[in-house]
Amino acid sequence: MDQGADQGVAAAVPADALGPPQGPAQRRWRRWAGAWRRWSLWALLLLLVASMLGTLVWLAGRYEASQVQARLERDTAESVSDIRNAFARNLQNLQALQAGEPDLAAWEARAAELLAQRRELVHLEWRDAQLHLRGHAESPYRPQHWDPSKRDSLHSEATLACTNARRITGPSYSSSYYQPMPDGVGSEMMEVCLPQMQDGQVRGFVVATYSLQTVLQDLVAPSLQRTQEVSFTEADGTRLAIIGAMRRGSRMFTAQQLFDLPGSTLVLRMDGWHAAPSVFPNVLTALVTAMSIALVSVLVVLVRDNRRRLRAERDLGEALAFRKTMEDSLITGLRARDLGGRITYVNPAFCDMVGYTAAELVGQTSPPYWPPEHAHEYAERQSVRMAGRLDPPREGYETTFMRKNGQRFPVMIYEAPLINAHGLHTGWMGSFLDVSAQRRMEELSRASQERLQATARLATVGEMASLLSHELNQPLAAISSYATGSLNLLAVPDGAAQDLADLRVGVQRIAQQAERAGRIIKSVHDFVRRRDQSREPITAQQLFDAVLPLIRLQAHKLGVRVQLDIRPGLPPVLCDATMVEQVLLNLARNAMQSMDDPQIHPRILELRVRRAASNAAKGWLEFSVADMGLGIAPEVAERLFTPFYTTRAEGMGLGLSLCRTVVEQHGGFLGHAARAPRGTVFTFTLPVFQDTEL
C-alpha cells in the first residue's frame, strides 16, 4: 500500500523536483526501508499484543497465587479460631467438673465422661492446693503410661503450669513435651492447669493433658486436612505435630498463625501445594475476551433479556419455596377446589388432620372425610356454593369431618374465592382448624367450674363449723366457771346472805354468757355468709367492760397484772360489739399465754386505746394489746395469720386469722410489732362513729 502511494506521488511530481537520478542499489535500499517500516509496525503491534498477553498471564498467575495464599491464610486463621474456641469450651468443662463439690468417685465419673467426649484430652488430674494428686482419669482412646514421680517433680510441666496458674489466678498452659507411647511411637503433649478459687484462695487444681496430634486431627476441619498439610511448630520452626495431605503440585504456599496461650505460645502452620498457572487457559481467556468485545453490541440485548428471565425464574423459585415451606409449617389445614368442586390441592396439615394422603384426596368431588350421615347435606351445600348462589361466611362456620379411622371431629372452616394472576375466579381456598381440643377444654372447664362451686359450698360449711367451735369455747368456758362457783356456794350449808348475793351474780353471769353465745352464733353465721353485721356506736370503755371480767379471771390464775389505759374524750366506734369483744378477748388471752413462763417477771398486760396516728382525718381509734413475753420468732411471724397454723398443741390456729378477718370487715388493719425491751404488741384500728351516718 505504501509502495503504490509512492508511485502515485512520483507521477504527479515533475522529474526535476525528484533530484538527481537514482541507481538500482538506492532503489533497493528504499524498498527495503519501506518494507522494514511496514513490518516494524506490525511487529510492534504483535509485540504489544504479546506483551499484553504476557502481562495478562503474569497477572493471572500472580492473582491466582495471591488467591491461594489468601485462602490459605484465611483457613489458618479460622483453624486457630476453632482450636481456641474448643480450648475455651474445654476450660468451661473442666470448671464444671468441680460443680457441687463432688467426691472422688463422682469427679472421676465426670472426668471419664469428658474424656470420652473430647478426644484431644488424654489425661485429667485433680490436685489439691499443695499439688498432691487426689484423683485422675485416662482417655479410653489412647492409653498412656505416666510416670508419677516425673509428673510430681518440681520441674515437671504440670507443676510449672500450676505454679503459673496460682500466680495469675487463672488457667495456664505449659510448654510442649514428648511423651512415649506403648506402641513405640511418641507424641507431643501440653498441660493446662486450671485453679479452683474459693473466697479468693486457691483450693485445688484441675490439670488436663492435650495431645497436639489429636488436637490437629479433631479440631481442624477435615476438608483442610485432605488438601493441606497442617502442623504445630515452635517459634524457631521446629515441628511438634503434623497432619494432612501429601505434596500435590510444583508450588508451595505457607501460612502461619500465632496461637498464643497463657503461659505458652505455639504456631499453627499450613502448607499447601498448587500447580503453576497454565498459560494456555489464560491466553485463551484473553482471546475470548477480546473477541467478546466485538460481540457485546449484539449480545447486550440478549444478555439483558436473559438476566431478566433468570431473575424472574429465581424470584419465582424462591416464592414457591417460601410458600411451600410456609404451608408445610402450618398447623392450619388448607384445601383448594376448582369451580366444579374437585379438590386441587391440600397441604400436609390437612392430610394429617383427616388421615388421608394428598393422592387420595386430589381430584375428589365427594371427599372420603365427609361422614356418611352428613354426605348428602354437604354435597347440596357444596353445589349451592359452587353455583355462586351462596357466599362463604367471612367469620367461618363449624362442621364435622371424619378421619380415616372413622373418628368424627369438629372443624372450623374459613373459605375465600381463589383468584388467579389474570383476576379470574378459578375456585375456592379454605382453611380448616381442628377445634376438638378446644371443645374438650371447654367441657373440662365447665366440669371444673361445677366442682369448684360444690367445693366452695363445702368449704363454707366447714368454715362455719370451725368458727362456731372456736368462738363458742370462750362463753362456754365462762358458763362452766360460773356454774362451778355457783355449785360451790350451794354446797355450803346455811349460806350467808353474802353467799346468796354471790350466787345470784353467778347465775346472772351464766345467763349473760349464754346470751353472749347466742350472739356469737348469729354473728358467726352472718360472718360466714359475708353479710353486713348489725353495727352500732359503742365506746371503748363499754367494749372493755364486757371482757375485763374474763381477762382478769385468767390473769389472776397466771399471775398477770392488767393495765388499762383509755385516753379521755375518745368518741365511740361503729362496730359489731360481739365480734370486736371476741377480738379483744383473743388477743388478751394470747398475750397472757405468751407470758406463762416461770422465768418471766414482771408479767404485765397493757391494754391501750387512743386516736390513730395515721388517717386522723378519716377518724380511727387504735386499740393495742401489749405483753412482756418472749416475742415472736421470724419464721412464726411469716405464718402467724395463716388459718389452722398454731404453735400450741391445744390450739386450733383460727384465732388470729378470725381476728384479722373481723377487723378487715370493719375497714381496719390488724398488725403486730416487737416491744422493747421484750414482748409483742398487737394493734388494730376501728372507725369512729360519725353523726352523719345516722
Rounded Cα distance between 348 and 330, Å, is: 8
pLDDT > 80? residue 167:
yes
The DSSP secondary structure of 637-651, one letter per residue, reads HTTTTSTT--SSTT-
CATH topology agreement for domains 77-272 and 330-434: yes
What CATH number is given for 532-693 in this structure? 3.30.565.10
Give the model confidence (pLDDT) of 20-30 as tens digits: 445 567 767 76
Give the model confidence (pLDDT) of 557-615 as tens digits: 888 999 999 999 899 999 988 888 888 988 998 899 888 888 888 899 999 999 887 65
Nearest 5°: the CA angle 475, 476, 477 is 90
Q: What is the pLDDT of residue 507?
A: 73
pLDDT band of 181, cuts 50, 70, 90: confident
Nearest 5°: the CA angle 294, 298, 302 is 135
The DSSP secondary structure of 90-129, one letter per residue, reads HHHHHHHTTTT---HHHHHHHHHHHHHH-TTEEEEEEEET
pLDDT band of 12, cuts 50, 70, 90: very low
pLDDT > 90? residue 250:
no
451: cell is: 366442682
Q: How many CB atoms lie within 10 A of CB 668?
A: 24
Q: Say which residue, 455 or 371, is predicted with more confidence.
A: 371
Give the Å distances, CA to CA, from 215 to 206, 230, 285, 446. 19, 11, 43, 63
Q: What is the pLDDT of residue 686?
A: 93
Q: What is the pLDDT of residue 641?
A: 78
According to DSSP H, which parts of 130-235 are helical?
A: 148-151, 157-168, 212-219, 222-227
Give the pLDDT mean for 361-380. Answer: 86
Q: Say which residue, 470 or 141, is predicted with more confidence.
A: 141
339: cell is: 369451580
Q: What is the pLDDT of residue 103?
A: 87
Q: What is the pLDDT of residue 50?
A: 64
pLDDT band of 328, cuts 50, 70, 90: confident
Q: What is the pLDDT of residue 456?
A: 47
267: cell is: 504456631
Q: Say which residue, 167 or 65, is predicted with more confidence.
A: 167
464 contact partners, CB below 8 Å, separation of at least 6: 524, 525, 528
476-479 contacts, C-beta under 8 A, 24 or more apart: 476/513, 476/517, 478/509, 478/513, 478/516, 478/550, 479/510, 479/513, 479/514, 479/517
Q: What is the pTM of this model?
A: 0.38
Give the residues across from 122 on adjacent strands: none
Rounded Cα distance between 320 and 345, Å, is: 14
Could you tell me whether strands 680-687 and 133-138 are parallel, antiparallel, or unpaired per DSSP bridges?
Answer: unpaired
Q: What is the pLDDT of residue 463?
A: 52
| Least confident among 275-289, 302-316, 569-583 | 275-289
Rounded Cα distance between 402 and 379, Å, is: 15
Inter-residue contact 585 to 474 (CB < 8 Å): yes
Rounded Cα distance between 562 and 591, Å, is: 11
Q: What is the pLDDT of residue 6?
A: 41
Tell me the domain boundaries of the chain: 77-272, 330-434, 532-693
227 contact partners, CB below 8 Å, separation of at least 6: 245, 272
Phi-psi region of 600 (alpha: psi -120 to 50; beta: other; left: phi over 0): beta
133: cell is: 494428686
Rounded Cα distance between 179 and 156, Å, is: 12
What CATH number is given for 330-434 in this structure? 3.30.450.20
Give the model confidence (pLDDT) of 413-455 as tens digits: 888 888 887 888 888 888 888 888 888 888 887 777 666 655 5
694 contact partners, CB below 8 Å, separation of at least 6: none
Inter-residue contact 672 to 625 (CB < 8 Å): no
Give the pLDDT mean for 613-633. Answer: 81
pLDDT band of 13, cuts 50, 70, 90: very low
Give the model confidence (pLDDT) of 383-406 as tens digits: 877 776 555 555 677 888 888 888
Q: Does domain 77-272 sit in CATH 3.30.450.20? A: yes
Rounded Cα distance between 577 and 523, Å, is: 10
pLDDT band of 617, cuts 50, 70, 90: very low
Q: What is the pLDDT of residue 17?
A: 37
